[in-house]
Amino acid sequence: MQILIGPSPAEFYDQSKDRSSGRAGKICRESNGNNPFVVIEEGDEHFRGERGFTTPSFPESNGFYRVESSDGGGTKPILADVVRVYNTLASDLIAMCGDDIGRNGGITLALSNTLTLSRINNDDQEKAAIELFEGLGQYAKEQKIVLLEGETAFHYNCLTSPNPQASLPLDWSGTAHGINHKDMRITGEKLKAGDLLVVFEQEGFGCNGISKVRQAFELRYGPNWYKDAPREEILEALSPSKIYSLALADANGWYSDLEKQVEMHAIGHLSGGSFESKFFEPFLKGKGLSATLDDLFPITDITKKCASWLVEGGVKFGPEEMLKTWPGGQRMIVAVPNQVNADKLIKICAKNNFKAKIGGIVTETKKGGNDEIIIIHPDLDEIYK
């Protein structure tokens, strides 16, 4: 018996998988110099060789330790596939993985990812896959993140989409790799009444509550919303996630010889569960502390529309539920002790190309009262007339 192992020109997906994987491997290698603290160790025989990294500037003997954070972009790729725009999905992957290292005071250095596709059977699908990887390379470079390892898997009928006209059903997850130190950790232990709360702007939804967004589109435009909804509205809902980990690492002193630039007492990443589960529960509840947020960023038009469509469609989705599901104009909240530190942090955010401002203050819970967050936002009055 003779078996020939090699390319099968008759089967497009065999070649396209090699092309897209090869492009991904090239983008990984191009990222080797993205971070000054990462030294890549790799086998050089072919792109499938091992890849690891060391951090000589942060030796374990000095108390530094490795940290990892795993997450993914949720169901947002469904929206991307409707409008055939894929290059911003990497922002969601990096933000969800890397920002969870930053919120604890660490520095995000590298990312491993697994891209699961249904198949690649034509040029459009291959182009979409390459667009995903090129977006990943762009965002990783901006954030000083090395792309360490990746896997592209084809699951065929095991991976589907609620959109019967879907071009490229996909799921994208990853693990961010970083470094922290007990003297650099930000745990919330220093949080106190009088601390100012700086919020970081996020247009649209980030990548949280996208299932609710799709439900809203279906209520407004019917079961064929993916055909009937205006393209511009879907693009608004697809707004990329802001990535904050580099700014947080800069503020915490990782890029200035471990000399803290900003004193930060607590950091809440307002992803799933938003204000309640990502700030109130870990930092305020049961500690005699409350917060008032009365100068938040505007709630974007698409968020207002989706909330209204849900309510009009009979879904129980009041303001409290909305702010548990979506970030409502911001996706990070940082407690600092005073105006000087707030100004420094806002300046660092501007340098990293996103807006930040003082959105509120930590208060002492009134005697006999309950710890709480009070949110005062004029846009809520507009939505829930």
List the domain boundaries for the chain: 9-185, 187-385
- Residue 44, pLDDT score: 64
| CATH number of the structural domain 187-385 | 3.90.650.10
Per-residue pLDDT of 177-211, as tens digits, reads: 999 999 999 999 999 999 999 999 999 999 999 99
Q: Residue 8 pLDDT > 50, yes or no?
A: no
Per-residue pLDDT tens digits for 256-270: 999 999 999 999 999
The per-residue pLDDT for 298 is 96
Q: Kindly report the pTM of this predicted structure.
A: 0.92
Lowest mean pLDDT among 11-15, 25-29, 365-369: 11-15
Average pLDDT over residues 160-165: 84
Question: What pLDDT is recorded for position 353?
Answer: 96
Residue 224 has pLDDT above 50, yes or no: yes
Please give the single-letter amino acid code of residue 8: S
Task: Say what the pLDDT of residue 22 is.
Answer: 74
Angle formed by the axes of helices 210-221 and 76-83, nearest 10°: 50
Predicted local distance difference test score (pLDDT) of residue 10: 42
pLDDT at 229: 96
Report strand pairing: 289-293 vs 356-364.
Answer: antiparallel
Inform me whether the pLDDT recorded for 52 exceeds 50. yes
Please tell me the predicted confidence (pLDDT) of residue 123. Answer: 81
Residue 107, burial from CB neighbour count under 10 angstroms (0-12, 13-18, 19+):
buried
Query: Which pLDDT belongs to residue 5?
Result: 55
pLDDT interval class at 4 (50, 70, 90): low
What CATH code is assigned to 9-185?
3.30.1330.10
CA dihedral 17, 19, 23, 24 (to 10 degrees): 10
Distance, in Å, from the CA atom of 228 to the CA atom of 237, rounded to the nearest integer, reads 15
Q: Say whether pLDDT at 273 is over 90.
A: no
User: What pLDDT score does 269 carry?
Assistant: 96
- Rounded distance, CA 83 to CA 217, Å? 14
Instruction: Provide Rg for the chain, Cα atoms.
Output: 22
Confidence of residue 46 (pLDDT cuts 50, 70, 90): low
Mean pLDDT, residues 14-35 taken together = 78
Residue 9 binned pLDDT confidence (cut-offs 50, 70, 90): very low
Estimate the crossing angle of helix 301-312 against helix 210-221, to 10 degrees.
Answer: 60
The residue that leads in pLDDT, 23 or 146, is: 146
The pLDDT of residue 383 = 86
The tens digit of pLDDT for each residue in 336-374 reads 999 999 999 999 999 999 999 999 999 999 999 999 999
Round to whole Å and give the CA distance between 168 and 364: 51
The C-alpha angle with vertex 58 and arms to 52 and 60, in degrees rounded to 5, equals 85
Average pLDDT score over the chain: 92
Percent of the chain with pLDDT over 70: 93
